[in-house]
Chains A and B, each alone.
Chain A
Amino acid sequence: MQESLLHIEGLTKAYPGVVANDTVSLTIGHGEVHALLGENGAGKSTLVKMIYGLVKPDSGQMTFKGQDYAPPKPSVARQTGVAMVFQHFSLFEALTVAENIALGMENPPAQNDLARQIKEVSQTYGLPLDPLRTVGTLSAGERQRVEIIRCLLQNPKLLIMDEPTSVLTPQEVDILFKTLRQLKSEGTSILYISHKLEEIRALCDTATILRHGKNVGTKTPSTATARELAELMVGASFDSPQKKEKDLGQTLLKIDALNVAATDHFGTSLKDVSFEIKAGEILGIGGVAGNGQDELLMALSGEQSVTSGAIEFDATDISHLPPHDRRLRGLLCAPEERLGHAAAPNMSLTENAIMTAADRKGLRKNGFLNWAGARQFAQDVIAAFDVRTPGTENAARSLSGGNLQKFVIGREVLQNPKVLIVNQPTWGVDAAAAASIRQALLDLAQNGAGVIVISQDLDELIEISDNFGALNEGRLSAIKPMASLSLDEIGLMMGGSHGMEAMQ
């Protein structure tokens, strides 16, 4: 290979209790699309933060175009020619697109010139965007375009993209890939972080795989098999969830023309959402984040009041019932946000267990709590779902994301729900834990419960759902059998590519 663009040698960064990066080395060539592959917590983010100057390495060297490179802060990295698109967008919702972009530039031109430049770049790279819109009103795909254009306006030599497709519809992924290939042909190198193997095989020239902070191999994705990459990434093989044939029972939950107004300024209102779920069915609800998923979960759980007649459970109208009464009847929920919504961060696992299970598990008598029983229940959840924790008296926040997620899902599953609603059940969870959570949901349905899985992970929904519908701007598409749908059709149900009309 000719002279490299970025060379990293023995980069190490340790945090108290964990070595995030352990002597990582890699080389990125000019015009190369380099994948950085690894599970959550493998150290990908820390590595790119060091390249982008947000984190200082403990030891190791970097060279950029043959020169020593040690950016003390992001602005130096940007001046050198490194730009980054963050996974959790670093955008300001109340500001306009142009203002957001100006904030990421060293010497921004006047707003009018900038708006013109934004229009030019967005046309050149097929990324339609209106510079004067408020970011809070944009879809996830459009927000990502804001970040990409912000980077492109600085003519970067190296563009870092952190999990760029996790919030996109398949159509939007296609647009993004076209843009990235165009950049590559113009000589820009791209460091592409992902854990989605098929994407990497389609796009990247080289892949570096990280596991527990170490570089465990560099491969050419087009010649390696997905299996090979997955095993390098996970470090062991694990069983994929098994789905069995089954017959659906009677209708358990029926939603009829559910309308819910958005609770906060940038929220989405639900419009005329109708569907039903039968015993033994897994209904997958897809869609890009912010299209009404949270609102749907809150309406079903009872946190948000709804008009009477909209929700029917076991042939009774439960629209007016609060969460507690819905739980008693067997309608259980596991919300997306683990810390703060599904679990109280500073309370012990026992306390968190009794909070949703007090009545269904008979842990309350005459207003007094049965702590021994609660501890036993927490213990059961820990045992049944392989939650890695020293004990039931540890605070919820001390668990890793994946372990807490297993606890939160297990707590509901072990209460024998008639209908369980989960939102993003495997978000930020490693592959092995995700597989076991999916298996638990499949088993639950096998035993006659109805399961609603709200998720942005399409692979997950394809793997476990019987039927599929997508939320787009608060509307639910028609529900169709999963097996009958192609990826293209699913994408269109999710709204295709958002905001393309801005181009015209």
Chain B
Amino acid sequence: MDLGGLNLFVLIASLMVSATPILLAAIGETVVEKAGVLNLGVEGMMITGAVVGFAVAINTGSAPFGFVAAAIAAALLSLTFGFLTQVLLSNQVATGLGLTLVGLGLSALIGKPYEGLKSVVLQPVKIPVLSDIPGFGRMLFSHDPMVYISLIIVAGVWAWLKFTRAGLVLRAVGENHEAAHALGYKVIRIRMLAIMFGGACAGLGGAYISLVRVPQWTEGMTAGAGWIALAIVVFASWKPWRILLGAYLFGGVTVLQLNLQAMGVAIPVEYLSMSPYLITIAVLVFISARGNQNAPAALAKPFHASN
């Protein structure tokens, strides 16, 4: 299926790969924000995940080990954010921005010896039978495992928030922490766990960039993916399936404009490069203009248990 030199199946297959880092980071941040915490350090956690994942994968020779290590490292980094904001009640916006700066600096330091090396590749998993379907098989069922895992996480977060008691409690904490506390729920503990989940997801997203998408280490390689993930959470009104839509929209426009650049379309490269950001922002503005944004009511408000 070709559209003026663009193969639609290839395009969709590559947009899924392109969107996965943002999808992972955004779904993690959704859970954090649903619990009422605004962690602006997504970019810092992603890049930390990217460098730690890359280093561990090189040293162990195993990409899966790299992903696990990336998740743990980013979760630990997010724990410092949790400690500062939840226990010491520091300002969430300032602390989140600080976390990004720390992550960028730390990753540059850790990553110095690994520049220019080639990472171990995560092998694609061809799902039996389904991957043999012409066109669609290659488009949807021949990806590496992280693409499937990211989709499973989205579905899992959706079901967990909607159907489980723990999910209900987490939403309640993000809506009104005073009331949740009055009912006897452990606001700070729940938020700490949410922050760590968000950190782990951002770490996986970062590792996906350094182990699959690029795959090598260069300083600052996340290039703003964490910020886009944050924007997508808002654009998606904190709803998991819309997160998927938003991430794939951004990924899709990114892949499309790269293809158009390669084809030498007569639009200046600068405009093409900025198009994913512009289109995502335009959609964001359109959605928020409709009013109901569904933001968790206690988002970014400090909680202090005053007896």
Which A positions have Cβ atoms within 8 angstroms of B?
Answer: 49, 53-55, 73-75, 86, 89-95, 99, 102-104, 108, 265
| Closest residue of B by beta carbon distance from A262 | B291
Contact check, A102 vs B183: say whether CB atoms are below 8 A apart.
Answer: no
B178 within 8 A of A: yes
Return the contact of B183 from the options A55, A90, A95, A99 (Cβ within 8 A).
A90
Contact of A265 with B292 at beta-carbon distance under 8 Å, contacts A55-B307, A108-B165 already known? yes
For B245, what are the chain A residues with a Cβ–Cβ distance below 8 Å?
Answer: none
CA A102 to CA B172, docked complex, whole Å: 11
Besides the contacts A94-B297, A103-B183, A103-B185, what 17 more A-B pairs have beta carbons closer than 8 Å? Answer: A54-B307, A75-B184, A90-B178, A90-B183, A91-B176, A92-B175, A92-B176, A92-B180, A93-B175, A94-B175, A95-B168, A99-B172, A103-B168, A103-B169, A103-B172, A104-B183, A265-B292
Contact check, A102 vs B168: say whether CB atoms are below 8 A apart.
Answer: yes
Contact check, B176 vs A90: say whether CB atoms are below 8 A apart.
Answer: yes
For B307, what are the chain A residues with a Cβ–Cβ distance below 8 Å?
Answer: 49, 54-55
A-B contact pairs, 14 of them (CB 8 A): A54-B182, A74-B183, A86-B182, A89-B179, A90-B182, A92-B176, A92-B180, A93-B176, A94-B171, A95-B172, A99-B172, A103-B168, A103-B183, A104-B183
Which B positions have Cβ atoms within 8 angstroms of A?
Answer: 165, 168-169, 171-172, 175-176, 178-180, 182-185, 291-292, 294, 296-297, 307
Contact check, B179 vs A92: say whether CB atoms are below 8 A apart.
Answer: yes
Main secondary structure of the interface of A (DSSP, over half): loop
For A91, what are the chain B residues with a Cβ–Cβ distance below 8 Å?
Answer: 176, 179
Contact of A92 with B182 at beta-carbon distance under 8 Å, contacts A49-B307, A55-B307, A102-B165 already known? no
Contact check, A90 vs B297: say whether CB atoms are below 8 A apart.
Answer: no
For B165, what are the chain A residues with a Cβ–Cβ distance below 8 Å?
Answer: 102, 108
Contact check, A73 vs B179: say whether CB atoms are below 8 A apart.
Answer: no
CA A95 to CA B184, docked complex, whole Å: 18
| Closest residue of A by beta carbon distance from B168 | A99
Shortest CB distance B288–A (Å):
12
CA A74 to CA B291, docked complex, whole Å: 37
CA A89 to CA B171, docked complex, whole Å: 17
For B168, what are the chain A residues with a Cβ–Cβ distance below 8 Å?
Answer: 95, 99, 102-103
Shortest CB distance A136–B (Å):
9
Shortest CB distance A46–B (Å):
9
For A93, what are the chain B residues with a Cβ–Cβ distance below 8 Å?
Answer: 175-176, 297
| Closest residue of B by beta carbon distance from A77 | B184
| Closest residue of B by beta carbon distance from A78 | B184
For B185, what are the chain A residues with a Cβ–Cβ distance below 8 Å?
Answer: 103
Return the contact of B294 from the options A53, A75, A94 (Cβ within 8 A).
A94
- Most chain-A CB neighbours within 10 Å: which of B169, B176, B179, B297? B179
| Closest residue of A by beta carbon distance from B307 | A55
| Closest residue of A by beta carbon distance from B169 | A103
| Closest residue of B by beta carbon distance from A50 | B307
Contact of A74 with B182 at beta-carbon distance under 8 Å, contacts A55-B307, A91-B176, A93-B176 already known? yes
Contact check, A95 vs B178: say whether CB atoms are below 8 A apart.
Answer: no
Shortest CB distance B60–A (Å):
44
Shortest CB distance A395–B (Å):
19
| Closest residue of B by beta carbon distance from A103 | B172
CA A91 to CA B297, docked complex, whole Å: 12
For B178, what are the chain A residues with a Cβ–Cβ distance below 8 Å?
Answer: 90
For B172, what are the chain A residues with a Cβ–Cβ distance below 8 Å?
Answer: 92, 95, 99, 103
CA A93 to CA B172, docked complex, whole Å: 9
CA A117 to CA B168, docked complex, whole Å: 19
| Closest residue of A by beta carbon distance from B185 | A103
For B291, what are the chain A residues with a Cβ–Cβ distance below 8 Å?
Answer: 265
CA A265 to CA B175, docked complex, whole Å: 14
For B169, what are the chain A residues with a Cβ–Cβ distance below 8 Å?
Answer: 103
| Closest residue of B by beta carbon distance from A111 | B163
For B180, what are the chain A residues with a Cβ–Cβ distance below 8 Å?
Answer: 92, 103
For A103, what are the chain B residues with a Cβ–Cβ distance below 8 Å?
Answer: 168-169, 172, 180, 183, 185
Shortest CB distance B100–A (Å):
29
Contact check, A74 vs B297: say whether CB atoms are below 8 A apart.
Answer: no
For A86, what are the chain B residues with a Cβ–Cβ distance below 8 Å?
Answer: 182
Shortest CB distance A359–B (Å):
35
Shortest CB distance A50–B (Å):
10
For A53, what are the chain B residues with a Cβ–Cβ distance below 8 Å?
Answer: 184
Contact check, A95 vs B182: say whether CB atoms are below 8 A apart.
Answer: no
Shortest CB distance A436–B (Å):
30
For A99, what are the chain B residues with a Cβ–Cβ distance below 8 Å?
Answer: 168, 172
Return the contact of A74 from the options B175, B184, B292 (Cβ within 8 A).
B184
Contact check, A73 vs B184: say whether CB atoms are below 8 A apart.
Answer: yes
CA A95 to CA B307, docked complex, whole Å: 25
For A104, what are the chain B residues with a Cβ–Cβ distance below 8 Å?
Answer: 183
Q: List the 7 shortest-distance A-B pairs measured between CB atoms, nearest first.
A: A90-B179, A74-B184, A92-B175, A90-B182, A75-B184, A55-B307, A73-B184
| Closest residue of B by beta carbon distance from A20 | B307
Contact check, B171 vs A95: say whether CB atoms are below 8 A apart.
Answer: yes
Shortest CB distance B264–A (Å):
48
CA A102 to CA B165, docked complex, whole Å: 9
For B171, what are the chain A residues with a Cβ–Cβ distance below 8 Å?
Answer: 92, 94-95
CA A86 to CA B178, docked complex, whole Å: 12
CA A99 to CA B167, docked complex, whole Å: 11
Shortest CB distance B249–A (Å):
25
| Closest residue of B by beta carbon distance from A100 | B172
CA A421 to CA B178, docked complex, whole Å: 31
For B182, what are the chain A residues with a Cβ–Cβ distance below 8 Å?
Answer: 54, 74, 86, 90
- Most chain-B CB neighbours within 10 Å: which of A94, A102, A108? A94
Shortest CB distance B290–A (Å):
12
Contact check, A95 vs B175: say whether CB atoms are below 8 A apart.
Answer: yes
| Closest residue of A by beta carbon distance from B178 | A90
For A73, what are the chain B residues with a Cβ–Cβ distance below 8 Å?
Answer: 184
Shortest CB distance B172–A (Å):
5
